[in-house]
Structure formats: C-alpha cells, structure tokens
Amino acid sequence: MKNIFIGNSLFIPKTRVIKQEGREIKIRNKESELLFLLCKKYPNHISREEIEKQIWTQTYVTDNTLTQTISNLRNGLNDKKHEIIITIPKKGYCLNIEPKFIDAEKIKIETLNSDFKKNSTLKNIPFFKNGSSSTYILSSFVFFLFFSINFYVFFKLDRIKIIHIKAEKLPITVNLDEEKDKEFLKEYKKPPFIFLKKIDNGTYIACEPYKGGLTCLKK
C-alpha cells in the first residue's frame, strides 16, 4: 500500500500513522479507512451514506459517530480551519487538497538522503575513531590535492601556494586569532580537522578529509 502526502502531512495507511512537522499521530482503524477513502475519491465528494456503507459495512452507525470520526481526522491533520477536509452541506465530505500517492520505498530512500544531508556535520561522522597517524597523513595529502583545485571557487582566494606540510603542522588556519577565536580553536584545532578559516562575516569553516575528498562545516 502506498503512502500519501496530504499537504504537509504524510499519511501511512499501513500503520495508521499521520506525520506532520515533527508530530506523529496514531489514528484508529475506521479513521484510517475513511481518510484513505477520501484520498481515493478526490476531487469528488462522498456522501454520508456511501461512507457508512463502505467503512461501517453491515453495522449501524449514528450521525454522531461519523461526525466524531471526521473531527478526529481533522485534528490528526491539524486542520483547525476545516480547509483540508471540507463539509459539503447535504452532500457529504471531500478533500480540498490533492493527495499524492508515493511508494513507501521511495519515501524511505528520500528520507535517508535528507537525514544524511542534515547530519553530515563533523560531529556526526565517525572518522578517525580508530585511525592511525599514517591514515591521517594520507588523507591529508588527498585533501590538499582536492583543495588546490577547488580552493578558489569555495573560499575566493587569489592564489594558493602548496608546500610540504608535516602532519603535526595541521590544521592550517586562516584569519584566526589565538585569543579572539580561542573557543573555536579549542574545539577544532586538532585531528581530524586539517583546515580552519574565519570568513569576513564572522562565520567559521572547519574541514576534514572524508572518503577521498573533504567535508566542511560552517559554525
């Protein structure tokens, strides 16, 4: 069964969950069935009679039960103004937002990619956790090879001169003052970081080797 985006909410019919802006709400079985039915019928409306027939098959249901089910769905979708599920007088209900059916596997892959981008900071990369100094020197060499080609593009320097640099001389620091920037240096002037810079607007950049290239973090 496919997952469904309804506005900024993600409805997962298989688990009866609605996710929205950090919230995760578990809805009841009938509520899930009704929301799925509304999505399938979009943009058409569904009468109360049809809803009762398809959701509460061969079961007597009062008007209050259906009204409460709709109310619970609106709460789950944070639809306080009734702009997502609308009531059509004397006709029934319909969705006012086009639902987008997406394969669950595709959402999983996109979520993983998004999480990787959000968490790809130096603190979250388990690099050099058990590494040796030789690995550090080798990674430093790879970094400088990449760095010499891309330095102008990323950091707008007019010229760069690369010389033999010993591992103990790293990281390279640019525009940093030992006193004024001591808090930043205290945290980042150590392996695995091999380049530190302070930009004109006061932002810091710290870079470390990662998978044959480098990963840079703005602070």
Helix and strand element counts for the chain (H, E): 6, 11
CB 7 within 8 A of CB 39: no
Residues 6+ apart with CB under 8 A from 204: 181, 184, 188, 196, 197, 198, 218, 219
Apex 206 CA angle, 200 and 211, nearest 5: 140
Torsion from C-alpha of 183, 189, 192, 198, nearest 10 degrees: 80
With tokens 């990662």, the residue in question is 210
Domain limits, the chain:
3-107, 120-218
Torsion from C-alpha of 27, 33, 37, 39, nearest 10 degrees: 30
Determine the residue type at 129. Answer: K
pTM over 0.75: no
Joined together, the tokens standing for residue 174 give: 């640019």
Q: What is the pLDDT of residue 60?
A: 84
Q: What is the pLDDT of residue 57?
A: 87
Q: What is the pLDDT of residue 117?
A: 52
For the domain 3-107, what is the CATH code? Answer: 1.10.10.10
Q: Which segments of the chain have a pLDDT < 50?
A: 109, 112, 116, 120-131, 157-162
Q: What is the largest CA-CA distance in the chain?
A: 84
Q: Helices in the chain by DSSP H: which ranges?
A: 29-41, 48-55, 63-76, 104-119, 133-155, 182-188
